[in-house]
Structure 1
Amino acid sequence: METVIGIKFNNFVLIATDMTAAHSIMVMKDDEDKTYNITDNVVMGVTGEAGDVPRFAEYITQNVKLYRMRNGYDLSIPAIATFTRKTVAEHLRSQSPYQVNFMLGGFDPSKKQSYLYFIDYLGAQVDVPYGAHGYGGLMSITVMDRYYKPDANYQEAYDLLKKCIAEVQKRCIINMPNFKVKLSYSGGIQELPEITKDNIQKQTIVNVKD
């Protein structure tokens, strides 16, 4: 009943998650932030069980920070993805598995390279140009198949994301009116304007800080 979308471009990565917190047939809130900044340039969009999502995200974030404190530098983005996948896989074989699915991505300024990983609750990890979790992924993947261009600029990328979310809101019976969007680029992580039912048909100008 949740949706997370990730798209990788040549010089940046976009991660979007719905902001609906639901329990059974009840919507508890529509401003939930399901994105987590792991480092200054790595962002993760997570869906799953309400208790597992923040617990898992905090565990990953704090362990990555601990590594930086001990060694004086951050893990690389592929290393962070491997660590998160390993964490999911280890807990899957324990008494307390994490029921989480997530898209993890970021832009490495030193290598001038974008990374995006699709990782699920079974510990499967795939390096992808774009991907999605949840029911919304069934609708958005086809849109990205049609319109994705790796060399798109910020505005074109944001508009593609709006196309995906418009299709989710049109086709999916589950109410997902609001989506949070984060950009990872050479300047770090920036939060872009939220995509909502009210503004999805309006032109949104994307301003990215240098």
Structure 2
Amino acid sequence: MNPYSVNILLAGYDKETGPSLYYIDYIATLHKLEKGAFGYGSYFSLLMMDKHFHSGMNVEEAIDLVDKCILEIRSRLVVAPPNFVIKIVDKDGARAWRESVKDTHASA
């Protein structure tokens, strides 16, 4: 399968400048972001990020925010994906955190 259009969130970490997040759209437009999402679920997750995101969040706060975003998507999007892959990118490198959020968490 050859993709014709691809959007990407690209995260990285530099020893001197710290963490970075970029959104690259299907026509190669590049935007530096503090927080990001795309696709149908982004309408709901970006609202949660606007409400709860703050600069300098620690890993636990960021994971809690991701959980809130996923729960919001699952509760409001009719065709919500059943699984989400959560990854962490920081000074220690990139690693998978977990495959999806538990449905037993309290709603945001």
Q: TM-score, with normalisation over the residues of structure 2?
A: 0.88
Instruction: Give 2:7's aligned residue.
Output: 101
Q: Do the aligned partners of residues 202 and 119 (structure 1) sit closer, same or farther apart at CA in structure 2, a change above 3 Å counting?
A: same
Instruction: Give 1:192's aligned residue.
Output: 97
Instruction: Give 1:173's aligned residue.
Output: 78
Return the offset for 1:112.
4.7
Higher relative contact order (CA 8 A, sep 6+): 1
Matched length: 106
Give unpaired runs (5+ residues) of structure 2: none
- For residues 59 and 105 of structure 2, the distance between their equivalents in structure 1, rounded to whole angstroms, comes to 17
Aligned residues: CA RMSD? 1.7
Instruction: Give 1:201's aligned residue.
Output: 104
| Amino acid in structure 1 at the alignment position of 2:8 | F
Instruction: Give 2:87's aligned residue.
Output: 182
CA contact (8 A) 2:41 2:80 kept: no
CA contact (8 A) 1:162 1:200 kept: no
CA contact (8 A) 2:10 2:22 kept: yes
| Amino acid in structure 2 at the alignment position of 1:164 | C
Instruction: Give 1:83's aligned residue.
Output: none
- For residues 105 and 47 of structure 2, the distance between their equivalents in structure 1, rounded to whole angstroms, comes to 22
Return the offset for 1:170.
0.8
Query: Which is helix-richer, 1 or 2?
Result: 1
Return the offset for 1:161.
0.4
Return the offset for 1:149.
1.4
- For residues 91 and 103 of structure 2, the distance between their equivalents in structure 1, rounded to whole angstroms, comes to 27
Superposed CA deviations along residues 96-148 of structure 1, whole A, max 9, x for unmatched, are xx41011001111x215111011111222110101111000011101000000
Which structure has the larger Rg over C-alpha atoms?
1
- For residues 50 and 84 of structure 2, the distance between their equivalents in structure 1, rounded to whole angstroms, comes to 21
Give unpaired runs (5+ residues) of structure 1: 1-49, 53-97, 204-210
Superposed CA deviations along residues 52-78 of structure 1, whole A, max 9, x for unmatched, are 2xxxxxxxxxxxxxxxxxxxxxxxxxx
Query: Which is strand-richer, 1 or 2?
Result: 1
Percent identical across equivalent pairs? 33
CA contact (8 A) 2:73 2:80 kept: no
- For residues 80 and 42 of structure 2, the distance between their equivalents in structure 1, rounded to whole angstroms, comes to 14
